[in-house]
Amino acid sequence: MAADSASALVCIIILCSLCFQKTKALLIHPNTLFLNLTELTDQQKEFQELARKFSREEIVPAAPSYDKSGEYPFPLIKRAWELGLINGHIPEDCGGMGLGIFDSCLITEELAFGCTGVQTAIEANSLGQMPVIIAGNDAQKKKYLGRMAEEPLMCAYCVTEPGAGSDVAGIKTRAVKKGDEYVINGQKMWITNGGKANWYFLLACTDPDPKCPTSRAFTGFIVEADTPGVQPGRKELNMGQRCSDTRGITFEDVRIPKENVLIGEGTGFKIAMGAFDKTRPPVAAGATGLAQRALEEATKYALERKTFGKFIAEHQAVSFLLAEMAMKVELARMAYQRAAWEVDQGRRNTYYASIAKAFAGDIANQCATDAVQIFGGNGFNSEYPVEKLMRDAKIYQIYEGTAQIQRLIISREHLGKFKQ
């Protein structure tokens, strides 16, 4: 009897190890460290509380009129700057607070709840600064980041062109070295803060030879906005986030000193892409803030509006809509928090950042649409807040990497892990 059970035991053990061998191939996740789900620290809670208070008391009431007029919300941005809510990423030795991406995302979500137009204007600052933060030398950092901490200035990220958005390698803006300067010629398009920026991060082609690989053909520059030859175009009238300043910019024989090159000639592409890993989580956080707003507005309305003798929230069709919105918001939040946490740990987070941005952008649109649906006829009307959410949400599937590009990145990362 004992021998039988012993041999049975041996069999079981072998079986297990065989199974383990098989499942090992499926454990493609190189990183099995799960993020330790602890509460926010007291400081994080206070940051969030401050951003929430500011957003709900100052941004929410002002947002509808900025949306109607399209006026740049400078008073709000200035106030946010005074409270220390923007420029969080600027390192401490340049006068900033050196916040991690996670903390910045907490703040971003709260601001976006108020108005994503205002939040995008603020976020464009982070995007423009990020290449300098990750690739600038000490002099460049002190000069261009330092001034952002001293005054409420804006900056912009100039990469997209009329003919090249997703295909960054297809940009045609030329930078030619002449002595100690580079001469820039070309056109950029859809530049957030284009007309309000004090300086730009610019990506230009320094080696047009088709044989030159993408990784060596582009250079990143810091361009002062008042350099002769920089011509911002008219403010574009967009579908949503209308108070954000979006313009085309023409560069005509713009001379940039070589001191303003980031790292060195040919390194631009990597810098431009590297910035995204840090700015995609905040964009996802912004989309989540919008979705949260949609959920809250819809819930409140559903608990006030009656039809067929009861509150519409008591009709399952509506409560199910709300449930699905809640699911999406919670998951989007967890996604951006994971992406932000990963990069704060010093790890490459491209996979998580793309997932977060793609998912949050999609659900923001779905939640905004569902919110309008719950409001019914009122939702279609400009006197109620949800139609603005629907118009504002669309851009989250387009900027900072379209929904399709995100899927390209995710599939590439996923298959890459699988093949290892």
Partner 1 sequence: MHRSSEVKHVASYLNTRGCECFGQPCESHCPVLTDRTIHVQLKTFIKIRVKPDRTGVVTDGVKHSMNPFCEIAVEEAIKLKEKKLVKEVVAVSCGPQQVQETIRTALAMGADRGIHVEVSGKDYETLGPLQVSKIFAALAKKEQADLIILGKQAIDDDCNQTGQITAALLDWPQGTFASEMTLEADKLKVVREVDGGLETIKINLPAVVTADLRLNTPRYATLPNIMKAKKKKIANVKPADLGVDVCSRLEVLKVDEPPQRQAGVKVETVDDLVGKLKEAGRV
Residues that bind partner 1 in the complex, under the rule CB under 8 A: 42-43, 46-47, 50, 52-54, 56-57, 60-61, 64, 82-85, 88, 97, 107, 296-297, 300-301, 304, 378, 383-385
Q: Which long-range contacts (CB under 8 A, 24 or more apart) does 397-401 make?
A: 397/361, 397/362, 397/365, 399/190, 399/192, 399/283, 400/127, 400/276, 400/279, 400/280, 400/283, 400/357, 401/166, 401/276, 401/280, 401/354, 401/357
Residue type, 99: L
Of 253 and 304, the one with the shorter C-beta distance to partner 1 is: 304
Of 83 and 273, the one with the shorter C-beta distance to partner 1 is: 83
Of 46 and 259, the one with the shorter C-beta distance to partner 1 is: 46
Burial (CB count within 10 angstroms: exposed 0-12, middle 13-18, buried 19+), residue 167 = exposed
CB of 320 to partner 1, least distance (A): 23
Q: Does 29 belong to an annotated binding site? A: no
Pairing relation of β-strands 154-158 and 197-205?
parallel
DSSP string, 183-211: EEEEEEEEEETTTTEEEEEEEEES---TT
Q: Does 160 belong to an annotated binding site? A: yes
d(Cα 106, Cα 86) in Å, to the nearest integer? Answer: 12
Q: Does 301 belong to an annotated binding site? A: no
CB of 252 to partner 1, least distance (A): 40
Q: 125 near 197, Cβ under 8 Å? A: no
CB of 385 to partner 1, least distance (A): 6
d(Cα 279, Cα 275) in Å, to the nearest integer? Answer: 6
Q: Does 302 belong to an annotated binding site? A: no
342 is an active site residue = no
Q: Does 164 belong to an annotated binding site? A: yes
CB of 85 to partner 1, least distance (A): 6
Q: At 251, which helix (H) or strand (E)?
A: strand 246-257
CB of 371 to partner 1, least distance (A): 12
Q: Does 162 belong to an annotated binding site? A: yes
CB of 301 to partner 1, least distance (A): 7
- What's CA 84's distance to the chain center, in Å? 19
Give the tokens for residue 159: 């990469």
Q: Does 159 belong to an annotated binding site? A: yes
**Four-point Cα dihedral 62, 152, 112, 410, nearest 10:** 150
CB of 83 to partner 1, least distance (A): 5
Q: Does 401 belong to an annotated binding site? A: no
CB of 316 to partner 1, least distance (A): 24
Q: Does 376 belong to an annotated binding site? A: yes
Q: Does 374 belong to an annotated binding site? A: yes
Residue 242, SS3? Answer: coil
Of 42 and 138, the one with the shorter C-beta distance to partner 1 is: 42
What Cα–Cα distance (Å) separates residue 110 from each residue in 43, 45, 317?
Answer: 15, 12, 29
Q: Give the total residue count for the chain.
A: 420
Pairing relation of β-strands 181-192 and 230-235?
unpaired
Letter string b/e over residues 140-153, b meaning 16 or more CB atoms within 10 A of that residue's CB: bbebbbbebbeebb
Catalytic residue among 181, 265, 400, 413: 400
Of 61 and 257, the one with the shorter C-beta distance to partner 1 is: 61
Burial (CB count within 10 angstroms: exposed 0-12, middle 13-18, buried 19+), residue 180 = exposed
d(Cα 62, Cα 159) in Å, to the nearest integer? Answer: 31
Of 59 and 217, the one with the shorter C-beta distance to partner 1 is: 59
Of 149 and 223, the one with the shorter C-beta distance to partner 1 is: 149
Of 182 and 301, the one with the shorter C-beta distance to partner 1 is: 301
Binding residues for FAD: 157-166, 190-192, 305-307, 315-316, 373-377, 402-404
Q: Which residues are catalytic?
A: 400
